[in-house]
Structure 1
Amino acid sequence: MATLGSAAIAMWWDISPAWRAEFEDWHSHEHFPERMAVPGFLRGSRWTSARGGEGFFVMYELDAYATLMSPGYLNRLNDPTPWSTKLMPQHRNMIRSQCHVLDSVGGALSRYVLTIRLSPRPGSESDLRAYLKSHAQNAAAQPGLSGAHLLMTDTPRIAATAEQTIRGGKDRAADWIYIVNGYAINAVAACDGDILNAAPLRDFGGETAAWSDVYCLSHTYEAAGAA
């Protein structure tokens, strides 16, 4: 499997320009090392909007879904540092999805990433997954691309954490997430239109319109011995 494990956390949020520099400092030098010290966290990656927006995409790769409910992780979520307490209220429009990795082909880390949030039409889950699995296998071998991955949100049934409270309450979540990695932005961006306009997405997608954006790698941090 291309991702480092069978589970992931996929997150999107915005940061205002006034807070951006301190946020990136905190996220790189405190938050990523803190998360990678939790058993089961293997790699964290942060991407910034490739189109000049204020948004970030962050993905944590986990060894297993059970890590999301582990004492080590829950202890961190319920004991935020003073710097985390200061910065987390600045996370705007948070979407935080705790996921199973359904399919993963090629590499999960590259300069550019396309993220698509979508939902299957009820009863068409297997058909949509089959289409995206086929697309991933083809995409991973295309010039300019390096991998593709399908995630499905399965939010653990745990009490709200201190970090959620700091951010203002319950986080929103995506349903399914399709990710395409690549080293050429034109190739990555072209996948956006190809997928959103594909007949299988119209036939098997849900009533809610799919959402997509392209991001550029900003920073990544791996746990010791994760590779």
Structure 2
Amino acid sequence: MTSSSLAGAGLLIIWSSISPTEVDEPAFNDWWTNEHLPERLALPSFLRCRRFVDPATSPTATPESKYLVWYEVDDTKALVSPQYMEKLDNPTPRTARFMPLLATLQRCACRVHTSQVRPEFTLSGARGGMVGASMANVSFTPPPDKDACLDGLAVRLMELFAHAAVLAFHVVEQDEETTRAGSQTKSYTGVSQSFQRSGLKCMVLVEFSESIVSPSGQREALKSMVVDWAAAAGSTDVEGNIYGLICAVGR
């Protein structure tokens, strides 16, 4: 069941947070968006990058601002390619400056299990360039029968398309070996990080047409619905967050 709006069969997802009182946040965003994303897109198998922010973590509400970035790649082999590993072991001056300033960082290389767009876009043939204005990220540790869990969850997630705000959903699973290989490079020297996020093994990513400032309450309710479905399928460590899109850049 795959009619994907993703550019490839692999994803690299990175969560990070910074303290606005200790880090120049505008400079941090300038580096990640205008230097780091173009650098990654110059690699042959990196196809599209997206940056998101958790709007509930503004400097006035919390001591940390939280960000999520995902990179769409041909497949997870791109995340251990010689070209990518060379970049990780030779960070730019600004990368070497900002990475150790992150308050937290979690990194996950993922295989795409299922990716589905709204039926209307499947029929139109316009699905390839679709990018949601906001998204829900639900992470969980699956039960021992992981494949049955993910297959059943993918079928259940089709119910989301009854809601007009849902553009697409993606079910992904962590490639632990690939995650670890990249996380042990020089780019991450001195960075406080975890190979897994609350026991993270798998995720559901739901893309919405509504921006993060839209008054609709659908996103939160739908995120909670996915959390309940993952838990009902026997998953543990289930948690969900809503993020707003900062930018999307592709080839």
Give TM-score scaled by structure 2 length: 0.80
Equivalent of 2:239, from 201, 207, 211?
211
Partner of 1:26: 31
Q: Name the counterpart of 1:129.
A: 150
Alpha-carbon distance in 2 for matches of 1:78, 1:170: 19
Give the SS at the match of 1:89.
Answer: helix
- SS of the residue corresponding to residue 134 of structure 1 reads helix
Deviations 1:145-189 (A, max 9, x none): 101001100132637200121424664453101101102352222
For structure 2, the 5+ residue unaligned runs are 59-64, 118-126
In the alignment, structure 1 segments of 5+ residues that lack a partner are none
| Counterpart in the other structure of 1:189 | 220
- Structure 1 CA distance for aligned equivalents of residues 76 and 162 of structure 2: 28
Correspondence list, 1:161-200, <5 A: 161-168=185-192, 171-173=195-197, 174-184=200-210, 186-198=217-229
1:2 Cα deviation (Å)? 2.0
Give the TM-score, by structure 1 length.
0.88
Give the match for residue 54 of structure 2.
49
Q: Which moved more, 1:156-165 or 1:68-77?
A: 156-165
2:108 is matched with: 97
Q: RMSD of aligned C-alpha atoms?
A: 2.0
The one-letter code of the counterpart of 2:202 is W
* SS of the residue 1:80 aligns to: coil
Measured after TM superposition, the shift of residue 140 of structure 1 is 4.0
Q: What is the aligned length?
A: 219
Residues 127, 204 of structure 1: 8 Å contact kept: no
Q: Give the Cα separation in 1 of the matches to 2:168 and 2:161.
A: 4
Distance 1:169 1:37, change over 3 A: same
